[in-house]
Structure 1
Amino acid sequence: MTDPILSVRGLEKRYGAFIGCTDVSFDVWPGEVVAIVGESGSGKTTLLNCISGRLERSAGEIRYRMRDGRFPDLGHLSEAERRFLMRTDWGFVHQNPADGLRMRVSAGANVGERLMAVGERHYGDIRRTAGDWLSRVEIAAERIDDQPIAFSGGMRQRLQIARNLVTHPRLIFMDEPTGGLDVSVQARVLDLLRGLVTDLSLAVVIVTHDLAVARLLSQRMIVMKGGHIVEAGLTDRVLDDPRHAYTQLLVASIPES
């Protein structure tokens, strides 16, 4: 496909006199993973929340290519259209899985709830699909009736991934998806994510401060500082030949293995 699935132009978010992000423009194509990197306070999470509709922008355009071919600005959609989009065609993977799960209902119900949002009503089919997805994210089928509060951090994150992907969305937003996990668990979740993104041809916008995560998952990278994009390009090019002084500093700070 030659047309982007998401297009951002001149995006700005202000909190009074403070600038969260400004003059941000980029496109995301179907099947592409774009990483947004930068230190704390660089504006990357503000940007993610604006383009995912979780935060109201101050200025700019955010256009999304609907399944029927329309390419509207998100601000022109009705509230019902935006809510449906977020429950079906989009996913959002939080750093803290508890923010993206219902902790007091079963693992199967967490996944099945998204299926019901797209019209599934047959209990047997919903439970079977939920079980298939739990297996796909390496959660044992016999844990389908367990609540997420009984799961480890890595299992909760994998459950959140299953909940987001069960409706076959076309665009996923990820906010530091491995940030709160132990190193060994991070590696397992990253390997799972990489496989699913490839298998499902997902478009992904991922925010991370970890350049190793960006290199592993993304094809393109956006580097932010002080709310501005200071460098953007193919991930390997940005990391192997950084041109902006701030990017050079970030790359130089990676511990040598």
Structure 2
Amino acid sequence: MSYSSVPILTARDLTLSFGTLRALESVSLEVHPGEVLAIVGESGSGKTTLLNTLYGVLAPGAGEVHFGENGKLDRCVQTLPRQQLRHLHRSAWGYVHQNPRDALRMEITAGGNIVERLMAAGEKHYGTLREKALFWLQKVEIDPKRIDDLPGTFSGGMQQRLQIARTLISHPYLLFMDEPTSGLDVSVQAGLLDLLRNLVSEQRMAVILVTHDLAVARLLAGRIAVMQRGRIIETGVTDQVLDDPQHPYTQLLVSSVLPA
């Protein structure tokens, strides 16, 4: 699949330490409209730290993240006023957490969760909100009759689908995903991955996907970046990197998941 040659987000020389621990070391990357970039590596390699730095939740000690649309990378995440960053997170960007409970409001209904981003953007008409909630419940393959149920009555896989509906209802152009299928049963994972692949293609979003699962990266991502000890040590087209890894760490990572 081909992508625009002009990125919508770039990171240059990101460095971040927690005390004496260097979590990120001179990390640079770029993301293009419509592509899925997977960030893979072992636990503790810095994947989620990088994702949260790109998203603006963590501030790097050095380096910057620039973003924009229509070929203009004219805004910097690190210097964006807090109110503007919050608006960006509620509209043009989306974040799918590993644990859906980190995103869902457990005390309000499934429908209320789904439309919260629309309400924050100013939509107040009850009929319109309920219609959109019903539409997105169907979109993520949840029975629309459950619109008034609380998220706590849903299974883990259904909560993840509800989080996805809540996030995508505002049609973000850039989606951040942190281990979206981790902890789910294999059969539930398969259904959720098919759903994500279809929605990403249909919505034409760019996606930054953090995963430790190379099979998930192969299924969803066109390009892959391999992290080790806070550094990106190999990057390229997903199939090429996984089928013919060049860095010794990537070779070890790939061989560790191959059947004996």
Matching residue within 106, 111, 124 for 1:108 = 111
Listed as ranges, the matches of 1:64-213 within 5 Å are 64-66=67-69, 69=72, 71-213=74-216
Q: Percent identity?
A: 56
Question: Please, which runs of 5 or more residues in structure 2 have no aligned partner?
Answer: none
For 1:133, the aligned partner's letter is W
In the aligned structure 2, how far is the partner of 1:180 from the partner of 1:90?
A: 25
Q: Which residue of 2 aligns with 1:252?
A: 255
- With over 3 angstroms needed to count, the CA separation of the structure-2 counterparts of 1:245 and 1:69, relative to structure 1, is closer
Q: C-alpha displacement at 1:78, in angstroms?
A: 1.3
Name the TM-score, length of structure 2 as normaliser.
0.96
Deviations 1:212-231 (Å, cap 9, x if unpaired)? 00000000000000111110
- Please point out which of 234, 240, 244 is paired with 2:243: 240
The answer on whether the counterparts of 1:33 and 1:219 sit within 8 Å (CA) in structure 2 is yes
For 1:201-257, what per-residue CA distance to the aligned partner results, in whole angstroms no more than 9, with x for missing partners?
A: 110001000000000000000000011111001101100100000000011011429
Secondary structure of the equivalent of 2:224? strand
Report how far residue 69 of structure 1 moved. Answer: 4.7
Q: Given the alignment of the two structures, is residue 224 of structure 1 paired with residue 227 of structure 2, yes or no? A: yes
Q: Using the alignment, how far apart are the partners of 2:147 and 2:96 within structure 1?
A: 20
Question: How many Å separate the matches in 1 of 2:81 and 2:71?
Answer: 16
- The runs of at least 4 consecutive aligned structure 1 residues that moved more than 3 Å come to 66-70
Cα offset, 1:145, TM superposition: 0.3
1:19 maps to which residue?
22
Cα distance in 2 for partners of 1:72, 1:40 equals: 31
Aligned length, in residue pairs? 257
| Runs (5+) with no aligned partner, structure 1 | none
Which stretch of structure 1 is more off in the superposition, 57-66 or 167-176?
A: 57-66
| Aligned residues of 1:88 and 1:117 also touching (Cα < 8 A) | no
Alignment of 1:28-47 (within 5 A): 28-47=31-50
Instruction: State how far apart, in whole Å, the 2-side matches of 1:68 and 1:129 are.
Output: 31
SS of the residue corresponding to residue 207 of structure 1 reads strand
SS at match of 1:48: helix
